[in-house]
Chains A and B, each alone.
Chain A
C-alpha cells in the first residue's frame, strides 16, 4: 500500500518563476493537507482540501499561493513569482474518510524541498 507521494523531491527556481508541487494521497484517503517547514522549525499548516473543495486555507499567504485537489489527479500547491523567503520544505499529508476509525490521523509524504535562487 503506497504511502503519500510527493514530487518533485527537490525543486530549484529563480526569483519570479513559478513552482508547482504535487501530492498524491494514500489510497482511499480523501483529505489532503499542505504544511511548510522552515529550517530549524516545526511545520506550519497552510491549507486543507477535499476533492474539488478547499476546506480551510487560513494558513496560506493571501498572494501568490494557491492549492487545488481536482476530481482526478494529484493535489497541486502552486507558488507564483517565487521569492527567496519561499525556500522551505513543503510537506503534504492525507487522512482517511470520517467513517474510518482514526479518521483524523495524518500521514505525511517525503516533502518537496524548494530552493529559490
Chain B
C-alpha cells in the first residue's frame, strides 16, 4: 500500500518562529489533506491540497504531486499552534481511504 512519511517527528519552536513540515508519499494520490490535532484531541482541517499551493492566514501549503511531496508552512508561530500535524492521502483509484502519516508533534513555547 501507499506509504506516508512525515518529518520532522518532533519540533520545538519559540513563539514567532517559522517552520516547514514535510510529507512524502509513495504513490499517486487523488487527495491530500493536512490536519491539526490540538491538545484536546480534536482534528481540524487545515488544507485540502492534492496539488498546487494554498494559503490561509499564517499557514500555507504546497503539494508537488509529480514529485510526491507536500509542505506545510507555519509563519509567526503562536502557542495555540501546538499539537500534532498530520498529513493524510487517498491513493489514486478513488478508493476514498485516507492513509495517515505518524504526524509532526509541534510545541511552541512563549
Where the two chains meet, the residues of A that have a C-beta atom closer than 8 Å to any C-beta of B are 31, 33, 35, 41-45, 48, 55-56, 58-59, 89, 91, 93, 95, 102, 104-108, 110-111, 113
CB-based contact B88/A43 at 8 Å: yes
CB-based contact A104/B30 at 8 Å: yes
A105 CB, min distance to chain B CBs, angstroms: 4
A42 and B96 in contact, given A91-B43, A110-B42, A111-B41 (Cβ under 8 angstroms): no
Where the two chains meet, the residues of B that have a C-beta atom closer than 8 Å to any C-beta of A are 30-31, 33, 35, 41-43, 45, 48, 86, 88, 90, 94-103
CB-based contact B96/A108 at 8 Å: no
| Cβ–Cβ < 8 Å partners of B43 in chain A | 91, 108, 111
Find the B residue at minimum CB distance from A55.
Answer: B96
CB-based contact A48/B41 at 8 Å: no
A31 and B86 in contact, given A108-B43, A111-B43 (Cβ under 8 angstroms): no
| Cβ–Cβ < 8 Å partners of A41 in chain B | 102
Q: What's the Cα separation between A111 and B30 when bound, in Å? A: 25
Find the B residue at minimum CB distance from A101.
Answer: B48
- Which one of A44, A59, A113 has the highest number of Cβ atoms from chain B below 10 Å of its Cβ? A44
Q: What's the Cα separation between A106 and B97 when bound, in Å? A: 10
CB-based contact B100/A42 at 8 Å: yes
| Cβ–Cβ < 8 Å partners of A107 in chain B | 45
Q: What's the Cα separation between A105 and B31 when bound, in Å? A: 7
Q: What's the Cα separation between A104 and B98 when bound, in Å? A: 10
CB-based contact A42/B102 at 8 Å: yes
Q: What's the Cα separation between A78 and B95 when bound, in Å? A: 23
CB-based contact A56/B100 at 8 Å: no
B92 CB, min distance to chain A CBs, angstroms: 11
